[in-house]
């Protein structure tokens, strides 16, 4: 970890210093014929730097990050698995990244064949035959699916069905996407066993039900055992079931949402299918739907014809577009490569080992931390500080910051909301037993510190470029650019 | 198995500690009747070497525009970028990091986003910019949502000169918010706003330069918005801002756009990134992530995600947007590229792109059968032509060029019924005089045949 202060680019700027040069520029010739009102009088105040300045700046900044390539990252519901080196090498080749999106289909048969295969593979993995690779991220996929549901309901004249039921353990994007698609949200409680409360669900199903959004396995890392009954109940009430596929890593090759009654779902290729998170994207959130909903998928889609592959926009019922062009192709390419490396057998091994690793950590930690739903979990589980620790004034935030100090990226904290002070741990299948053992040992030591009320926990982290930051100040005195006075 | 480190022996040990007999047992909480009783029908198990061969074979079915000469534009352009962009953005400390929710171990990503926000705001002439959007099209839709929620009005006016995918995206995003989308028509290659903006209008959206390549007048848009209380929104090509004035300078309220020209490979259309810049007064309505500077416990400067109460993970159904993951790594590329360009470098690229387009306009319009579609309209780096032979001639021209390794010609009739025979060509700093000459030679051949037929 680089502890040095790295200046802002603008602070190192020296008038007249250059990096990129392009020959032949003639401003006078360029502005000839342009309306004077639209010509920029003054160049934008961008930094003036040399290439070396830029290399040092960004290299040093990179050393102020935790990343999968440097640290264990047991971030619940985010599936921070290893991102294979080969994928980056492939995606950087001009045969892929040199394609223009308006090239004719005949010029891009390699790209279209790959998208076609990926569509088929995702359909097979989910048991849902209609696939679009269009959405740019998971939340974008949710929104796409909810709009499909709106279009489907409107097409049937069912304009009273405007309520989406969402469990209280759901990701925040679920309700936010509902609002954007013009639905109302009704929250369903979790049962004492950490599963969707079936009685509460039944009580809220009715003639206004558009559907249910369910995460399975849920954010507590528990498989919704009654999923088939739940889906049946929603269907009987005239609704559709949407599954948030963020946790698909746990069930690949084990069970298929299409087989247990789900009507539509999204997949996060940047979680389950190993494409890198990039510090917050780009992701890709394909959605998979039943045959009945297929006509509503967004444009365009890839089809296979006698003479090759084609992009089509032929469905009148389609909801249209939610972005430009044909999806985050570079992400699709990496996911395709991942699937071809692993195949059916490998995907099953992924799920098995993800679940094995999570349960192994759960067993290691259950005596030292409170594990509110302490039974066999899927790919993740939720822990929390014990009452005695909290009485010492030690909270989840302190645990997270102490973990940073000890060289681990913290688990997801304070989520799901149904567990107070949640610590949500997802190790993924790409971590070894040795890494898990070392992490467990660290967690046990931190538990002992917390039990002892060690005040060092409040001061952590001490060995990072910065200590705990004043987030309230960032809102009260907003400084969002370097020009802010 | 690739990427799974545990050995069989380790797995046995771990199963033993858990108290599970085997994996069947471990998955015991998934009811037997919904367990898959067969293997998935998915091909795989290739070694890295086999996969590399497979991908090379598939790659050989593509004819990448960037390898020949590329005159295609329409929202994605064949610009160059310095090698430092690939080298630095490819650092795995950036590539494999998560969203910087834990600021102490994410200062690298956070400072990069802060610098990105700073440069985008400066470029657009705005006070603030966010950490990025999916792309330019979805950024347009989100800008209109901000405008309707701020003004509490239910009608937006969108230029028909906006990218057709962005117009389609807006239709989809706004459909279920009961917002009326009015499209202002094109007249002589630019938007005709006549009478479309009134006191019920929440926002007016114009693309600069527009999809036909023509430069729009920003002042009348800003003026009519000022008069009616609507928000003025511009979607811009960031490279054009090396030469053209910023919409902020013209009095606009929101500036969005497609960041691809700033160091992002064309990549068959994605991932690119969208940007979103606006005035300080709208900061609490901005969609997506924002990074702010603050202090740590010791009083040192520190960066953190801020104004998170706008966002879905806090506000859930009341969030300003549902966006979570954005296109951070692409924005980082944009950030590095802008730093490498600096004010002079950006201006040079803008100038050369425009100069090449001027050259192309002059040379191609001197070919019999081709003329400038709107000879009086100024353009930036993209020019609209009209073929006397109509759409069939355009299609023939496109095919001929592609056969000769020139990816060019975007037929406008695909999106505009009244634009028979109109097509656009784009230039960048990568366009060489000899590329223009080759294209014009092909035009001579194609259209001479056309005339003689």
- Across the A:B interface, residue pairs with CB atoms under 8 Å apart total 701
Q: Are strands B291-295 and B301-305 parallel, antiparallel or unpaired?
A: antiparallel
Partners of B270 on chain A (C-beta within 8 Å) are 101, 136, 282, 323-331
The answer to whether the Cβ–Cβ distance between B95 and A88 falls below 8 Å is: yes
Mean pLDDT of B308-313: 84
- Say how far apart CA A230 and CA A234 lie, in whole Å: 6
Per-residue confidence (pLDDT) for residue A314, from 0 to 100: 81
Q: Which of B123, B128, B127, B197 is nearest to B159 (CA)?
A: B197
CATH topology assigned to domain A87-341: 3.40.640
| Same fold yes or no, A87-341 and A346-471 | no
Cα A274 versus chain centre, distance: 11
Interface test with A, best of B288, B324, B355 (most A CBs within 10 A): B324
The dihedral through the CA atoms of A389, A395, A400, A401 has a sign that is negative
Check CB contact of B78 with chain A, cutoff 8 Å.
yes
Angle A211-A173-B136 from CA coordinates, rounded to 5°: 115
- For residue A391, the distance in angstroms to the closest alpha carbon of chain B comes to 24
SS3 state of residue B171: helix
Check CB contact of B62 with chain A, cutoff 8 Å.
yes
The answer to whether the Cβ–Cβ distance between B315 and A86 falls below 8 Å is: no
Q: Which of B243, B226, B217, A197 is nearest to B234 (CA)?
A: B217
| Under-50 pLDDT residues of chain A | none
SS3 state of residue A77: coil
Residue B451 confidence class, pLDDT cut points 50, 70, 90: low
- For residue B321, the distance in angstroms to the closest alpha carbon of chain A comes to 7
Partners of B138 on chain A (C-beta within 8 Å) are 136, 140, 322-323
Per-residue confidence (pLDDT) for residue B452, from 0 to 100: 53
DSSP string, B358-423: HHHHHHHHTSTTEEESSTTS-BSSEEEEEETTHHHHHHHHHHHHHHTTEE--EEGGGT-TT-TTEE
Closest CB to B55 among A107, A284, A337: A337
Angle B265-B270-B273 from CA coordinates, rounded to 5°: 85
Partners of B86 on chain A (C-beta within 8 Å) are 92
SS3 state of residue A483: coil
- Using the predicted structure, report yes or no on whether residue B448 has a pLDDT greater than 80: no
The answer to whether the Cβ–Cβ distance between B30 and A6 falls below 8 Å is: no
Q: Domain coordinates of chain A in residue numbers?
A: 9-62, 87-341, 346-471
For the purposes of burial, counting CB atoms within 10 Å of the CB of B279, is it exposed (0-12), middle (13-18) or buried (19 or more)?
middle
Domains of chain B listed by start with CATH number: 66-77+344-452 (3.90.1150.10), 83-337 (3.40.640.10)
Burial state string for B29-60 with b = 16 or more CB within 10 A and e = fewer than 16: ebeeebebeeebebebbbeeeebeebbeebbe
Q: Which of B211, B115, B112, B219 is nearest to B158 (CA)?
A: B211
Per-residue confidence (pLDDT) for residue B312, from 0 to 100: 81
Q: Which of B198, B173, B174, B172 is nearest to B184 (CA)?
A: B198
Closest-approach residue (CA) in chain B for A151? B176
- For residue A256, the distance in angstroms to the closest alpha carbon of chain B comes to 7
Mean pLDDT of B262-272: 98
The one-character DSSP state at A161 is -
- Say how far apart CA A250 and CA A271 lie, in whole Å: 11
Q: Which of A248, A174, A182, A249 is nearest to A212 (CA)?
A: A174
Q: Which of B204, B239, B208, B127 is nearest to A479 (CA)?
A: B127
Q: Which two tokens stand for residue A74?
A: 């047991």
- Say how far apart CA A210 and CA A212 lie, in whole Å: 7
Closest-approach residue (CA) in chain A for B312? A172
For residue B285, count other CB atoms closer than 10 A to its CB: 17
- Using the predicted structure, report yes or no on whether residue B453 has a pLDDT greater than 70: no
What pLDDT digit, counting tens, does each position of B140-180 carry? 999 999 999 999 999 999 999 999 999 999 999 999 999 99
Residue B449 confidence class, pLDDT cut points 50, 70, 90: low
Q: For residues A483 and B120, is the Cβ–Cβ distance under 8 A?
A: no
The answer to whether the Cβ–Cβ distance between A61 and B108 falls below 8 Å is: yes
Partners of B170 on chain A (C-beta within 8 Å) are none
- For residue B70, the distance in angstroms to the closest alpha carbon of chain A comes to 9
Q: For residues A362 and A111, is the Cβ–Cβ distance under 8 A?
A: no
- For residue B194, the distance in angstroms to the closest alpha carbon of chain A comes to 20
Residues in chain A, overall count: 485
- Rounded to 10°, the helix A329-365/B48-59 angle is 160
HEC states along A396-440? HHHHHHHHHHCCCCCCEECCCCCCCCCEEECCCCCCCHHHHHHHH
Q: What is the ipTM of this complex?
A: 0.97
Q: Are strands A412-413 and A381-383 parallel, antiparallel or unpaired?
A: unpaired
Q: Which of B157, B164, B198 is nearest to B180 (CA)?
A: B157
- For residue A55, the distance in angstroms to the closest alpha carbon of chain B comes to 7
- Say how far apart CA A293 and CA A286 lie, in whole Å: 15
Architecture of domain A346-471 in CATH? Answer: Alpha-Beta Complex (3.90)
């Amino acid at each position: 970890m680089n502890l040095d202060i790295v200046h802002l680019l603008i602070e190192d700027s020296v008038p007249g210093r250059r990096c990129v040069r392009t020959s032949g520029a003639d401003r006078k010739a360029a502005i000839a014929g342009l309306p004077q009102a639209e010509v920029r009088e003054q160049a934008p105040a961008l930094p003036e730097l040399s290439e070396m300045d830029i290399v040092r700046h960004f290299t040093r900044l990179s050393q102020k990050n935790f990343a999968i390539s440097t640290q264990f990252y047991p971030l619940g519901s985010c599936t921070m698995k290893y991102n294979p080196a080969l994928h980056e090498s492939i995606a950087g080749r001009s045969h892929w990244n040199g394609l223009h999106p308006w090239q004719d289909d005949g010029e891009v048969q390699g790209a279209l064949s790959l998208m076609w295969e990926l569509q088929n593979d995702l359909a097979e993995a989910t048991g849902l035959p209609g696939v679009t690779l269009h959405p740019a991220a998971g939340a974008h996929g949710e929104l796409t699916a909810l709009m499909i549901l709106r279009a489907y309901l409107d097409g049937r004249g069912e304009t009273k069905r405007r309520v989406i039921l969402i469990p209280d353990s759901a990701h925040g994007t679920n309700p936010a996407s509902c609002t954007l698609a013009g639905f109302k949200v009704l929250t369903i409680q979790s049962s004492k066993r950490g599963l969707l409360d079936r009685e509460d669900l039944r009580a809220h199903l009715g003639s206004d039900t558009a559907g249910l959004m369910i995460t399975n396995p849920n954010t507590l890392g528990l498989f919704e055992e009654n999923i088939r009954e739940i889906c049946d109940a929603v269907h009987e009430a005239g609704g559709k079931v949407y599954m948030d596929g963020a946790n698909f890593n746990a069930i690949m090759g084990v069970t298929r949402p299409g087989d247990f009654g789900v009507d539509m779902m999204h997949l996060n290729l940047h979680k389950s299918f190993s494409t890198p998170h990039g510090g917050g994207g780009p992701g890709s959130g394909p959605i998979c739907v039943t045959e009945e909903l297929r006509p509503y998928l967004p444009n365009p889609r890839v089809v296979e014809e006698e003479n090759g592959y084609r992009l089509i926009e032929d469905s009148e019922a389609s909801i249209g577009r939610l972005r430009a062009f044909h999806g985050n192709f570079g992400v699709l390419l990496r996911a395709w490569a991942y699937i071809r490396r692993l195949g059916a057998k490998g995907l099953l091994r992924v799920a098995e080992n993800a679940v094995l690793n999570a349960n192994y950590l759960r067993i290691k930690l259950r005596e030292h931390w409170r594990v509110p739903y302490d039974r066999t979990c899927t790919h993740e589980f939720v822990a929390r500080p014990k009452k005695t620790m909290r009485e010492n004034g030690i909270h989840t935030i302190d645990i997270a910051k102490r973990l940073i100090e000890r060289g681990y990226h913290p688990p997801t904290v304070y989520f799901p909301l149904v567990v107070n002070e949640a610590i949500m741990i997802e190790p993924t299948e790409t971590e070894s037993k040795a890494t898990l053992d070392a992490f467990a040992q660290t967690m046990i030591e931190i538990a002992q510190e917390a039990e002892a009320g060690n005040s060092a926990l409040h001061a952590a982290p001490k060995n990072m470029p910065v200590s705990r930051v004043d987030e309230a100040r960032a809102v009260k005195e907003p400084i969002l650019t370097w020009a802010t006075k | 198995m690739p990427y799974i480190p545990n050995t069989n022996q380790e797995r046995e040990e771990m199963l033993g500690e858990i108290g599970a007999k085997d994996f069947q047992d471990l998955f015991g909480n998934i009811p037997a009747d919904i367990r898959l009783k067969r293997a998935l029908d998915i091909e795989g198990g290739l070694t890295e070497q086999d996969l590399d061969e497979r991908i090379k074979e598939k790659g050989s079915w593509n004819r990448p525009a960037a390898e020949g000469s590329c005159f295609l534009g329409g929202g994605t352009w064949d610009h160059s970028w310095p090698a430092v962009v690939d080298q630095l953005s490819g650092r795995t400390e950036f590539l494999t990091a998560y969203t910087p929710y834990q600021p102490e171990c994410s200062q690298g990503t956070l400072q990069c986003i802060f610098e990105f926000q700073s440069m985008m705001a400066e470029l657009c002439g705005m006070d603030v910019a966010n950490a990025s959007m999916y792309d330019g099209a979805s950024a347009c839709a989100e800008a209109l949502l901000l405008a309707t929620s701020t003004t509490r009005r239910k009608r937006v006016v969108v230029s028909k000169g906006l990218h057709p995918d962005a117009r389609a995206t807006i239709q989809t995003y706004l459909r279920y918010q009961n917002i009326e989308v009015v499209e202002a028509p094109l007249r002589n290659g630019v938007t005709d706003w006549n009478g479309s903006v009134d006191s019920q209008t929440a926002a007016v959206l114009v693309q600069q330069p527009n999809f036909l390549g023509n430069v729009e007048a920003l002042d009348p848009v800003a003026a009519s918005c000022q008069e009616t209380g609507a928000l003025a929104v511009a979607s811009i090509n960031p490279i054009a801002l090396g030469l053209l004035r910023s919409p902020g300078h013209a009095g606009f309220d929101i500036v969005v756009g497609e960041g691809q020209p700033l160091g992002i490979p064309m990549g068959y259309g994605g991932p690119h990134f969208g940007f979103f810049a606006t005035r300080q007064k709208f900061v609490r309505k901005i969609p997506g992530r924002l990074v702010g500077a603050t202090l740590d416990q010791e009083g040192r400067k520190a960066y953190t995600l801020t104004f998170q109460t706008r966002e879905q993970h806090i506000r859930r159904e009341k969030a300003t947007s549902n966006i979570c993951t954005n296109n951070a790594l692409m924005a980082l590329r944009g950030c590095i590229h802008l730093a490498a360009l600096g004010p002079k470098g950006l201006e040079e690229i803008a100038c050369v792109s425009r100069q090449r387009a001027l050259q192309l306009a002059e040379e191609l319009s001197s070919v019999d059968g081709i003329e400038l579609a709107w000879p009086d309209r100024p353009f930036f780096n993209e020019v609209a032509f009209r073929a006397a032979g109509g759409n069939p001639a355009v299609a023939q021209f496109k095919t001929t060029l592609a056969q000769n390794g020139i990816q060019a010609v975007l037929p406008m009739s695909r999106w505009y019924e009244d634009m028979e025979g109109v097509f656009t060509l784009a230039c960048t700093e990568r366009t060489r005089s000899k590329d223009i000459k080759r294209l014009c030679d092909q035009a001579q051949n194609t259209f001479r045949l056309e005339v003689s037929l």
